Amino acid sequence: MQLLSKPRTHLHLLSLFLCLLLLPCLPQPLPSPSPSPSPAPPSLPLSPFNDRLEAAYVAFQAWKHAITDDPKNLTKDWCGPFVCNYTGVFCTAAPDDPHILTVAGVDLNHGNIAGCLPDHLGLLADVALLHLNSNRFHGTLPSSMQHMRLLFELDVSNNLLSGAFPAFLTSLPKLKFLDLRFNNFDGELPDAVFGRQLGLDALFANNNRFNVSLSSQSLTNSTASVIVLANTRLAGCLPPSIGDMADTLVELILLNTSISSCIPPEIGKLKKLKVLDLSHNDLAGELPDSIGDMESLEVLNVGYNMLAGEVPEAICELPRLKNLTIAGNYFCDEPVSCLHVPLRDDRMNCIPDWPHQRSPEECIAFAHSPPAHCGADGCIILPP
């Protein structure tokens, strides 16, 4: 028995030795990772059901019932409560609550839709963009639109809208782009439209029946970069204060507005102006040399007025001038430098030995008429 116990003891010690030898080679548990921030829960889509979208549903259904013809079927899918799926309707998170979905824009441009704009339109209180140009909407803009306090762009051009200028527009705090052209609006265009409190950046009011005053307290108070009043009736003269718009004005179009005025030299302060169209009016006197200081000017159109004298050479040497129209006046001289303007129209003037000019009889008759005298306010002083 004793002889057998020794080998067993020896085997036991050998097994223990092998275990100690192999222990470092056995797989060890990995260390615990350092704590990290828990991942943010995935963002959930905004619910298509809330009070604002319910109000929008009411507005769109009322609008659909006010439409009498929709040849392109743009409003055919204006059914059901999911207004964000309607054609021409755009939704996003509400600016005052990113957890709420709301209607931010409506675009029915070029739809040729006939009908009117219902009072319920004011329920779209979060709309920033309302584009309705090239349709057949008639009537007026509903006063309920005064609740669109976020409205930034309003384009209702090329419709059949009528009535006085919608006064509530001047109280919309975010409005920057206003396009009313090619409608039947009439009456006075209020001074507040040009006021710094409203602060429009672009105003298109042409081809309506508005009456506009050119007093120094109205138009020239504007901070707009674009003002288009073509084919409306403007009362008064171009005031010297026109230079006060130098910081912002880029485009001024006053063609066919019945202006009877001189062009004040202060217009040369408009160094940011790129487009100036004063054609088809009753402007008299001479082109001021100061226009040659308008270094950004690309288009100058003073055609079909009663301007006379010489075309200042500084105008034709403007570095960016691409289009010069002086046709239909009584200019008697034009510098050779004007020939380098890419697009130039100088027909029907009194420039000697120049093609396509007025008849000698017309030019002689004009030369013998009393010359225009310009007052300090920009108005023409009539002879006694």
Residue 11 has pLDDT above 80, yes or no: no
pLDDT in tens, 34-48: 444 444 444 546 777
Do the domain assignments include residue 245?
Answer: no
Query: Is residue 108 scored above 50 in pLDDT?
Result: yes
The token duo for 330 is: 């009584």
Domain assignment present for residue 214? The answer is no
Instruction: Please report, as a single letter, which amino acid is at residue 49.
Output: F
Backbone φ, ψ for residue 244 (5° rounding): -70, -10
Q: How many domains are there within the chain?
A: 1
* Per-residue pLDDT, 33: 40
Closest CA to 255 of 281, 218, 237, 236: 281
More confident residue, 261 or 195: 261
Please tell me what DSSP assigns to residue 84.
G
d(CA 324, CA 302): 8
**Distance separating alpha carbons of residues 265 and 309, to the nearest angstrom:** 15
Mean pLDDT, residues 305-320? 97
Specify the pTM.
0.85
Q: Does residue 94 sit within a domain?
A: yes
| SS3 assignment, position 290 | helix
Q: Higher confidence at residue 222 or residue 253?
A: 253
- Res 23 pLDDT > 90: no
Beta strands in 165-292 (DSSP E): 177-179, 184-188, 202-204, 209-213, 226-228, 233-235, 251-253, 275-277, 284-285
Question: Which pLDDT score is estimated for 8?
Answer: 42
Residue 29 clears pLDDT 70, i.e. is over it: no
CA atoms of 192 and 217, how far apart (whole Å): 10
Percent composition of the chain: helix, strand, coil (DSSP 3-state, to 5): 25, 25, 50
Q: What is the pLDDT of residue 220?
A: 83
CATH number at residue 107: 3.80.10.10
Q: For the segment 313-372, what is each residue's pLDDT rounded down to a tens digit?
A: 999 999 999 999 999 999 999 999 999 999 999 999 999 999 999 999 999 999 999 888
Residues spanned by the domain of 140? 48-179
Given a cut of 60, whether residue 61 has pLDDT beyond it is: yes
Domain assignment present for residue 122? The answer is yes
| Residue 96 pLDDT > 90 | yes
Long-range pairs of 305-308 with CB within 8 A, sequence gap ≥ 24: 305/278, 305/279, 305/280, 305/281, 305/329, 306/282, 306/330, 306/372, 307/263, 307/283, 307/331, 308/284, 308/332, 308/350, 308/366, 308/371, 308/372
- What percentage of residues in the chain have a pLDDT greater than 70? 87
Query: Would 34 be classed as within a structural domain?
Result: no
Give the residue-averaged pLDDT of 220-225: 90
Residues ≥6 apart with Cβ < 8 Å to 330: 306, 307, 308, 349, 350, 358, 363, 366
214 or 383: which carries more pLDDT confidence? Answer: 214
User: Residues 344, 348, 350, 352: is their CA dihedral positive or negative?
Assistant: positive
The answer as to whether 231 is a domain residue is no
pLDDT of residue 112: 98
pLDDT of res. 367: 94
Residue 95 gets which letter from DSSP?
Answer: T
Per-residue pLDDT for 207 more than 70? yes
Residue 132 falls within a domain, yes or no?
Answer: yes
Residue 192 in this model has a pLDDT that exceeds 50: yes
330 belongs to a structural domain: no
139-181 tens-digit pLDDT: 999 999 999 999 999 999 999 999 999 999 999 999 999 999 9
pLDDT at 216: 56
- pLDDT of amino acid 39: 47
